[in-house]
C-alpha cells in the first residue's frame, strides 16, 4: 500500500507562458524579446521556461548554472547573463556556452579587458538613476566612452547599451531616466564612431506603459509568468486586464473541519476570535511551503468554488479559513491558494509584498506538476 501524498501541489502551465509571450510580442512590435528567466525562471523551472518561451529571441538568466541547464534542454538562441561575470573563469564559461555578457561595474570591465577568453557578445549597463549597477556619466562622458571603446576592440561587433527603470510602473517616474539615457546615447555614438548602438530599456512595466522605450530589445520578466508589473493593479493594470494568464497555480485540500463557538480563537497567538459560531477549515499548506506567514485574516482563498477568508495565523504546515458561509465545503474540498481564481497579485497585495516574491518562494517540498495544452 502506497502512502497518500500530502495534497499540496504547484502546477506549472507551459502554455500559459506561451500565451503571455505572445501578448508581450503584440505590444512590442519589431523589438526583440529577452525572456527573463532568473531565479530558476521565477520559480517555474529553467527546463519549463525553455519550452514556454521557445518563441522568444533570447533568454536572460542570472547565473551560469541556469545558462548551462538551458543549453542542456535545447535552448540554442542567445542567452544574456544579466548580472555579468564575477571571475575570469566566468567569462571563459560564457564563451563556452555562447552566452552574452553584461558589464555593470568598472571591476567587471577591467576583468573583461584583462581576461584571456571572453564572450564575443556584450551589453554595457548605464546607471541613469536606479543607482544599483551600471556606469553613470557623473565622472564625465569621455572616460565612459574610452572604456566602451576598449571593450569594443575585443568584440566581433560593438556592445549594446542597456539600463533599468526604477519607476516604469508610475505615470511620470520614468522620464528622468529615459531622458538621461537618450542624452548619453548620441554622444556615445559620436565618440565611438558608430552610426547606431543597440539599446535595451524596457522591463515588463515599460513593455505595457512605455512604447517609446521599447528600443531594440525588451526584457520582460513578471508579465511572462502571468503577474502584473504594476503596483497600482486596478482593472486596467491587473494581469487579466493586460491580457495575461497565470503560469502557476498553488493548490491543496481541506484536511479537517473545526466547529467553534463565539469567542473561541484559532491558531498561534489567538489572532482570530470568532464573532459567531463558526466552521473553520484546515488546509494542508503553510509557510514552509512558501505561502506567506504575513497573510492577514481576510486574505482570500478559493475553496470548492467560492472565495473564503483566512482566519488565524498561517503556521508552518497549515492554513485555517472561515467556512461558516460555505457549508458545502467539507474535508477533501479542493483549494486554490493562488492561480486562476485568486490572482497571485491579490494575495501578494494582502500580504504587503509583490507577486514576484510569492512565485520565487514556493519551496522544494511542494511537488511540481507540469502541464501543457490545457489553456
The residues carrying an active-site annotation are 38, 268
Q: Cβ–Cβ contacts within 10 Å for residue 214, how many?
A: 20
Most distant CA atoms of the chain, gap in Å: 79
Q: Concatenate the DSSP letters of all residues of 78-123 into one string.
A: -EEETT--SSHHHHHHHHHTTPEEEE-SHHHHHHHHH-SS--S-EE
| Strand locations in 192-274 (E) | 199-200, 217-218, 248-260, 265-266, 272-273
- Please, are residues 314 and 260 in contact by the beta-carbon 8 Å criterion? no
Report in angstroms the alpha-carbon separations of 203 from 72, 75, 128: 27, 22, 15
d(C-alpha 248, C-alpha 360), whole Å: 11
Give every CB contact of residue 369 below 8 A, 6+ residues apart in sequence: 9, 10, 11, 12
Residue in 75, 107, 248, 104 with CA at minimum distance from that of residue 163: 104
d(C-alpha 224, C-alpha 243), whole Å: 11
Q: Concatenate the DSSP letters of all residues of 1-37 into one string.
A: -PPPPPS-EEEEEHHHHHHHHHHHHHHHTT-EEEEE-
Residue whose C-alpha cell reads 485540500 in the numeric block: 253
CB-side neighbour CA atoms (13 Å) of 50 = 18
Scored b (16 or more CB within 10 A) or e, 49-67 reads bbbbbbebebbbbbebebb
| Strand locations in the chain (E) | 9-13, 32-36, 58-61, 79-81, 100-103, 122-125, 160-162, 199-200, 217-218, 248-260, 265-266, 272-273, 278-284, 300-303, 306-309, 318-322, 334-338, 368-371
Amino acid at each position: 500500500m502506497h502512502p497518500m501524498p500530502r495534497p499540496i501541489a504547484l502546477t506549472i502551465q507551459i502554455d500559459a507562458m506561451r500565451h503571455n509571450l505572445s501578448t508581450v510580442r503584440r505590444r512590442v512590435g519589431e523589438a526583440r524579446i529577452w525572456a527573463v528567466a532568473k531565479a530558476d525562471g521565477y520559480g517555474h523551472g529553467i527546463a519549463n521556461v525553455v519550452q514556454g518561451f521557445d518563441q522568444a529571441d533570447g533568454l536572460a538568466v542570472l547565473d551560469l548554472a541556469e545558462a548551462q541547464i538551458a543549453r542542456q534542454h535545447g535552448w540554442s538562441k542567445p542567452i544574456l547573463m544579466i548580472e555579468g561575470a564575477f571571475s575570469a573563469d566566468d567569462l571563459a564559461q560564457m564563451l563556452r556556452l555562447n552566452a552574452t555578457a553584461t558589464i555593470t561595474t568598472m571591476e567587471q570591465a577591467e576583468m573583461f579587458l584583462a581576461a584571456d577568453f571572453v564572450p564575443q557578445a556584450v551589453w554595457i549597463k548605464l546607471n541613469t538613476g536606479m543607482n544599483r549597477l551600471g556606469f553613470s556619466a557623473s565622472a564625465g562622458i569621455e572616460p565612459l566612452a574610452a572604456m566602451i571603446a576598449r571593450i569594443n576592440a575585443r568584440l566581433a561587433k560593438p556592445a549594446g547599451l542597456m539600463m533599468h527603470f526604477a519607476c516604469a510602473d508610475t505615470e511620470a517616474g520614468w522620464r528622468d531616466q529615459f531622458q538621461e539615457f537618450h542624452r548619453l546615447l548620441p554622444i556615445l555614438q559620436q565618440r565611438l564612431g558608430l552610426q547606431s548602438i543597440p539599446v535595451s530599456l524596457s522591463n515588463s512595466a515599460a513593455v505595457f506603459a512605455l512604447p517609446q522605450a521599447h528600443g531594440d530589445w525588451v526584457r520582460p520578466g513578471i508579465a511572462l509568468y502571468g503577474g502584473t508589473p504594476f503596483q497600482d493593479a486596478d482593472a486596467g493594470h491587473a494581469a487579466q486586464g493586460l491580457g495575461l494568464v497565470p503560469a502557476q497555480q498553488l493548490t491543496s485540500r481541506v484536511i479537517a473541519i473545526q466547529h467553534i463557538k463565539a469567542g473561541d480563537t484559532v491558531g498561534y497567538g489567538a489572532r482570530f476570535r470568532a464573532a459567531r459560531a463558526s466552521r473553520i477549515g484546515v488546509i494542508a499548506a503553510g509557510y514552509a511551503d512558501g505561502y506567506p506567514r504575513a497573510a492577514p485574516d481576510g486574505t482570500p482563498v478559493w475553496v470548492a468554488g467560492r472565495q473564503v477568508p483566512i482566519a488565524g495565523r498561517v503556521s508552518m504546515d497549515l492554513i485555517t479559513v472561515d467556512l461558516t458561509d460555505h457549508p458545502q465545503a467539507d474535508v477533501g474540498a479542493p483549494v486554490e491558494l493562488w492561480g486562476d481564481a485568486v490572482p497571485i497579485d491579490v494575495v501578494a497585495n494582502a500580504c504587503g509584498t509583490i507577486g514576484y516574491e510569492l512565485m520565487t518562494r514556493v519551496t522544494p517540498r511542494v511537488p511540481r506538476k507540469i502541464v501543457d495544452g490545457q489553456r
